[in-house]
Structure 1
Amino acid sequence: MSQEPVEAAAKVAEEAAEGGRRSWVIDVRPLRGAAYRRMWIGNGVGFFGFQFTAVAVPVEMFAITGSSAWVGLLGVASLVPLLIFGLWGGAAADVVDRRKLLLASSMLAWLSTVGLLAQAVLGLESPGVLLALTAVQSAGFAMSSPARQAIIPRIVPGELVPAANTLAYTTTTAGGVLGPLAAGLIFGAWSTGTGVTIAYAVDVLLFTVSFWATYRLPAIPPVHDDGAAERPTAGVRGIVDGLRFLVTQPVLLLSFAVDIVAMVLAMPRALFPEIAEDRFGGGSAVGWLFSAIAIGSLAGGLTSGWIGRVRRQGAALVVAVVGWGLAVGLAGLAHSLWLMVLLLAVGGAADLVSAVYRQSILQTFAPDRLRGRLQGVFTVVVAGGPRLGDLRAGATADIAGPTFSWAGGGFAAAGVAVVLAAAFPALLRYRPPADAEVTR
């Protein structure tokens, strides 16, 4: 096997160590801008509220059906809307005002959360209703996410895009820590039926902060290339134009590929309710499992001052994905709750690093006139991968058991990422342009 992955990993470690001698503290300079600051606050609070629903839906599904395979089907219910509306939402973000698109799509997601609350209050106990509402919520998320991410390079300077992404991921992972832990306390104190009702209600209330933050954003109209033969559209032609650009960019394609590998093979989320019940007696254990990855991401974000100084961003992305897979694989073998949480947290720190580099490579690589469409593809990959991972994990667990599904998937992801990096070294060689500028 080529020595390039090993040499690249050593170079990344050397660059990180050099950055560490200067500062490990998270870079907060993007918060000096009022627009980014409001968006950062709104997204953080809104994501914290969403974590209550993210825990409650699989817990309710497992309580109704008693099957991890049914929990995995929640991933399928989310995936189809992501594929359709993620691509369409990205195309629309290059045609209409991104602020208006974000407001409209967020409203759809909020209404689906209200529906989840209503079905819990009415005690429907219907797997079909849960799947349908999950699909609607996924459609709202898919339409809003490309616009949300494409806005960032328009409201912060180009050189601060990695720092802005790190702040965003760190804050949402803080919500990912506190939200599941709070949800776990709810399920430890109340019955499942009462617990899911409370969880959905909290999400509905906190969602309003995201609306406030989006409403306070300035208008962000599309940027058109005056030399282009045709203006972009939100239809099929616009989507095809974005895909046509993407297939000519091996760095972007490979960054998407390693993420799909990491999420499809190594995402154990669908197994959390079953593992929490079988190994740890249920109760608050499920909250710790759902929050463990985010705990690591938060710790990684708070010590991320070095991230923006690493030049070999592609190699750093590959190293982080391999670290994620190995940590998840070892966690699947653990029979101590705290050891499992610790290993998942290590994986979460690696995932934070890979997420920042994936997003930053895309945002600085793509011109603004195509950024929404490429963010749509990014949304399909980043959000669709874990849902396919839910399906894979749940189905494999029903056939071969949860331990094999969890641990085997993690180790497989690490191995496949190494093979991809060795076979297609374009990503390992990638460095951002020294004078990278973002189209305003």
Structure 2
Amino acid sequence: MAAACPVWHHLRVTWRERVAGLRVDTTPLRQSRDFRLLFWAGTVFYLGGMVTYVALPYQLYTLTGSNFAVGALGIVELVPLVVFGLYGGALADHVDRRRMLVLAGAAQVVLTGLLAVNAFLPDPRAWPIYVLGALLAAAQSLQRPSKEALEPRTVEHGQIMAASALSSLGVQVGLLAGPAVGGVLLAAFGVGWCFVVNVAALLVATALFAALRPYPVTDRSNPPSLRGIAEGVGYALRRRDLLGTYVVDMVAMFLAMPTVLYPALVEDVFDQPALLGLLYSVGTIGSLLATLTSGWTRHVHHHGRAVMVAAMAWGAAVAAAGVAPSIVWVLVLLTLAGAADMISGIFRSTVWNQTIPDHMRGRLAGIEMLSYSLGPLGGQARAGLVADAWTVRGSIASGGLLCVVGVGAVGLWLRDFWAYDERTDEHAVRERELRAGQPAG
């Protein structure tokens, strides 16, 4: 028995080490003041933004009684998203990124405040919601590339993957808590107070952005222009590793995004309408679980391969959800799908942040924002059309299977992406060498 004790102790220690190795790496939060500011600003920003995300469709529907009127809000936001996403990326490569975060944040405070004013009127109007929604989409699109481009400069190069996982964790907290807070506010106080809470959140986030140290542009900066935007697009197309991150995500989201079918799934297929809210949440829960156990990702060096495997796992889980025998299995499988999507996202953002030169990072962040916005928008339309022409289950299952096939085809086309190794990739090596002597935020 005595001889077995050291063996048992060794097994316990080994188990603890393995469990500890799964935990999300919090080193960037502990070591970088500016990353902490970005983390908390992003968390508060998404928390308040999701309150408005709940309130706006509800207010539009109560004012108009039209589902099309609610969907039209996404249509009017699309053009500002594309135009100002690209322009915001060009600006992020030309001006102090902290200044961009503060100015765009202040604009969002004013615009959200006007939404609150309209909501508190005795007779609120629908048209200001569309106008302010489009302007908010523009302000957010101007801001986001600067935040995405700034994050890698606040941490050491070796901490970029951990920083990406932590940033995603903050977003997930907002995505989970924001709708719940919005629902409570709607029921207890009305839609106007949802906007007031978001104004408060935006003020806090903007104050945190203002507390960042200045991040002046590099000496290779050029004023924003169509030529500069085209230069960014050309750079992304020439870099097959970057192209792979965009194409894989767009293929996966376009073919296997099932969210628009959730109401029909719980109502018509399983007759469980009370579970609709949970169905919307399980993907984020899966993402959160994947992030909290993402410590293992730092041992993976073939990031392109990891992106593709995770995207195919997302498609396989969605396909299985389409033929699942019960709503419980659907919830489990969509949780797994959310986890797989999160793993893909961590590795995609690591490729971007570890390899893109700082003077190009804003423009590439704008392109990246478009890639993960347009894929889901098109995917919702595809899922709805297939479901109307066939069945809800058929749409979900076929989309997942097509995702697996489509991502596999991308791997055959972009073999350089499949072979990508961050230890030897010329762009990753160059950025690592450049950053070696530079202090983090």
Normalising by structure 1, report the TM-score: 0.83
- 1: CA distance, partners of 2:182 / 2:211: 30
- 2: CA distance, partners of 1:119 / 1:268: 34
CA displacement, residues 182-217 of structure 1 (integer Å, 9 cap, x when unaligned): 445566x56xxx654444333232222211210111
Letter in 2 for 1:380: L
Which residue does 1:161 correspond to in 2? 160
Which residue does 1:27 correspond to in 2? 25
**Residues 248 and 296 (structure 1 numbering): CA distance in 2 closer, same or farther, change over 3 Å?**
same
Which residue does 2:300 correspond to in 1? 310
Provide the secondary structure at the position in 2 that maps to 1:220. coil
Which residue does 1:371 correspond to in 2? 361
Which residue does 1:11 correspond to in 2? none
**Residues 369 and 60 (structure 1 numbering): CA distance in 2 closer, same or farther, change over 3 Å?**
same
Deviation for aligned residue 1:48:
1.6
Contact conserved, 1:42 with 1:211, CA < 8 A, in 2? Answer: yes
Provide the secondary structure at the position in 2 that maps to 1:234. coil
Contact conserved, 1:106 with 1:211, CA < 8 A, in 2? Answer: yes
- Aligned runs of 1:112-127 on 2, under 5 Å? 112-122=111-121, 124=124, 126=126
Q: Which segment drifts farther, 274-283 or 375-384?
A: 274-283
**Residues 395 and 58 (structure 1 numbering): CA distance in 2 closer, same or farther, change over 3 Å?**
farther
Provide the secondary structure at the position in 1 that maps to 2:295. coil
**Residues 419 and 62 (structure 1 numbering): CA distance in 2 closer, same or farther, change over 3 Å?**
farther
- 2: CA distance, partners of 1:423 / 1:201: 49
Letter in 1 for 2:176: V
Letter in 2 for 1:370: M
**Greater relative CO (CA pairs within 8 A, separation 6+):** 1
Provide the secondary structure at the position in 1 that maps to 2:230. helix
CA displacement, residues 212-261 of structure 1 (integer Å, 9 cap, x when unaligned): 21011111111124xxxxx5221112112212222211111111001111
Deviation for aligned residue 1:59:
4.6
- 1: CA distance, partners of 2:341 / 2:309: 10
- Aligned runs of 1:353-432 on 2, under 5 Å? 353-394=343-384, 396-397=386-387, 400=390, 402-432=392-422
Deviation for aligned residue 1:379:
1.2
Contact conserved, 1:72 with 1:390, CA < 8 A, in 2? Answer: no
CA displacement, residues 2-39 of structure 1 (integer Å, 9 cap, x when unaligned): xxxxxxxxxxxxxxxxx958710110000121111111
Letter in 1 for 2:203: T
Provide the secondary structure at the position in 2 that maps to 1:117. helix
- 2: CA distance, partners of 1:44 / 1:393: 31
Moved over 6 A (4+): none
Q: 2:335 aligns with which of 345, 353, 360?
A: 345
Which residue does 2:210 correspond to in 1? 215
- 2: CA distance, partners of 1:340 / 1:114: 40
Letter in 2 for 1:215: A
Contact conserved, 2:301 with 2:423, CA < 8 A, in 1? Answer: no
Contact conserved, 2:106 with 2:203, CA < 8 A, in 1? Answer: no
For structure 2, list consecutive stretches of 5 or more residues without a partner in the other structure: 1-16
Which residue does 1:13 correspond to in 2? none
**Residues 301 and 414 (structure 1 numbering): CA distance in 2 closer, same or farther, change over 3 Å?**
same
Which residue does 2:9 correspond to in 1? none
Contact conserved, 2:108 with 2:202, CA < 8 A, in 1? Answer: no
Q: Which segment drifts farther, 399-408 or 83-92?
A: 399-408
For structure 1, list consecutive stretches of 5 or more residues without a partner in the other structure: 1-18, 226-230
- 1: CA distance, partners of 2:400 / 2:65: 26
Which residue does 1:10 correspond to in 2? none
- 1: CA distance, partners of 2:59 / 2:315: 28
**Residues 341 and 28 (structure 1 numbering): CA distance in 2 closer, same or farther, change over 3 Å?**
same
Q: Which segment drifts farther, 160-169 or 269-278?
A: 269-278
- Aligned runs of 1:85-124 on 2, under 5 Å? 85-122=84-121, 124=124
Contact conserved, 1:76 with 1:391, CA < 8 A, in 2? Answer: no
CA displacement, residues 134-174 of structure 1 (integer Å, 9 cap, x when unaligned): 32222122111110011112111011011101000012112
**Residues 311 and 389 (structure 1 numbering): CA distance in 2 closer, same or farther, change over 3 Å?**
same
Which residue does 1:250 correspond to in 2? 240
- Aligned runs of 1:219-230 on 2, under 5 Å? 219-225=214-220
Letter in 2 for 1:381: S
- 2: CA distance, partners of 1:57 / 1:350: 30
Which residue does 1:203 correspond to in 2? 198
**Residues 98 and 248 (structure 1 numbering): CA distance in 2 closer, same or farther, change over 3 Å?**
same
- 2: CA distance, partners of 1:292 / 1:206: 25
- Aligned runs of 1:261-272 on 2, under 5 Å? 261-272=251-262
Letter in 1 for 2:198: D
Provide the secondary structure at the position in 2 that maps to 1:232. coil
- 1: CA distance, partners of 2:303 / 2:331: 28
- 1: CA distance, partners of 2:206 / 2:23: 30
Normalising by structure 2, report the TM-score: 0.83
Q: Which segment drifts farther, 98-107 or 250-259?
A: 98-107
Contact conserved, 1:153 with 1:438, CA < 8 A, in 2? Answer: no
Letter in 2 for 1:55: V
